[in-house]
Amino acid sequence: MATVPGSLALLSVRNEGPFLLEWVAWYRMLGFDRILVMHNDCTDHSPQLLRLLEREGVLTQKKHQPDPARPPQPQAHRLAAKQDILREAQWAWVCDTDEFLVIHPGEGLLSDLVAAWPEGAEAMAVHWKIYGTDGAEAWVDQLVHRSTLRCAAPDAQQNTQFKCLTRTPAHWGWLRSHGPKEWQGPGAWEDAANRIVLADGSPLEGYSPEQSPANGTPRDRITHELAQVNHYALQSRERFLLKKGTLGAAALLDRYTDDFFLRFDHNEDEDGAALKYAERFDAEYARLTAIPGVLRLHHLCCADYLMAIADKLGRPHEAYPAIAAHRETAQALPAHSRPAKGPAT
C-alpha cells in the first residue's frame, strides 16, 4: 500500500461504530500514513473497536470529555491540534464518517493529489458531492460508498460546501471541520504568498483564518476537477430519523429537520467515481477484518445502532430481527487475542 509520508486523516465521532471500518479502510487505501480518531461519550462498542485497531497499529485513538455546554466537535479538533501526531504531520485531512475523498488524477491516490498540488498553496478546499437516499427507508449494514450512485447535479447548492487538505498543519492553531483556523505560519496571512486553493487550482478568495472562516463558496465556484468529497449525509430515512431533533456536533444547532432531509436528498444525477477503488478498497478492508475481534466488534456496533434506532422511533427491539442477527454473528466470530481493555487515552 503506497502511503504519503507524514499524511494524517482526522476524525471525531460519537456512537458511529458501524461506519468506522469502512472509513478507516478508505483513508488507508487512499494512502494516508496515519489516522487519528477522537471520540467522546460513546455508549456503543466503538471505543473497544478503536482501542483494538490502535493496539494493532492501524490508528491512534483518543477519548476526550467535552464541555456539554459547547459543541463537541470543535473541542475535539482543538485537542487534536495539541497532539504530536498532528503537529508533526506534513498533510492533514479532516472529515466525518459519511465523507469520502475521491481523487481524480492518476490512480486516484493521495500521492496523485500531492503531485498535482498547486505551488505555494497552504490548503486545498475540496467541494462536496451530495448523495441522496435513493429511496432507502431502513438502515442496513452495508458499505456506504456502494449503497447508492444517485447524487446531486454538479452545480447543486448543497455541493458548495468543502473540506480541506491542509499542508503543514503546524502552521495553524487548529483545523476546523471545514478548514484551518488561526494562521501561525511565516508572515501575515494577507501576504500574497499565502493562499488556499480550490480543486481546480484557483484561489479561494476571502478566506479569513482569524474571523469566521468560510465553509463553502458561491455555486459558480463549485469544482470537482482534481477531487471531490462524496458526502452521504442521509443514507436512509431511518438514519436521518435517528439524528432528527438532536443538536449538531459542530454548532449545537437543531439542523436535522425535515427541511434538512429535503435539501440533502438529491438523487437526480449519477456518479460512480468511488467504484474505481473497488479492488484496492476490498484488499484493505479484508486486511482490517482479518484482525481477530474486529468483525465481532463491528457487528456489536451494528446491533447497538439498530437498538438506538428502535428506541428513538419507539419500537420494540424485536421489531428489528437484524439486532439478534448481528449479535449471533458476533458471538460466532473470534474475539480479539487479548482484551482491548485499559484506560482510554
- What is the average per-residue pLDDT within 166-190? 93
23 or 256: which carries more pLDDT confidence? 23
- The rounded distance, in Å, linking the Cα atoms of 97 and 176 is 15
Three cell numbers at 150? 444517485
Q: In a 3-state reduction of DSSP, which class is residue 151?
A: strand
Q: Is 26 exposed, middle or buried (0-12, 13-18, 19+ CB in 10 A)?
A: buried
Q: What's the Rg (C-alpha) of the chain? A: 20
Q: What is the pLDDT of residues 224-281, one digit of tens each?
A: 999 999 999 999 999 999 999 886 666 556 789 999 999 999 999 999 999 999 999 9
Taken in order of first residue, the domains within the chain and their CATH numbers are 4-291 (3.90.550)
In the chain, the largest separation of any two C-alpha atoms, in whole Å, equals 62
DSSP letter string over 86-135?
HHT-SEEEE--TTEEEEE-STTS-HHHHHHTPPTTEEEEEEEEEEB--TT
pLDDT confidence of residue 345: 43
Q: Which residues contact 39 (CB under 8 A, 6 or more apart)?
A: 12, 13, 14, 46, 47, 50, 61, 62, 63, 64
Pick from 5, 43, 44: nearest CA to 299: 44
pLDDT of 342 above 50: no
- What is the average per-residue pLDDT within 172-185? 95
Q: What is the pLDDT of residues 25-59, one digit of tens each?
A: 999 999 999 999 999 999 999 999 999 999 999 99
CB-CB neighbours of 234 under 10 Å: 23
The β-bridge relationship of strands 162-167 and 121-130 is antiparallel
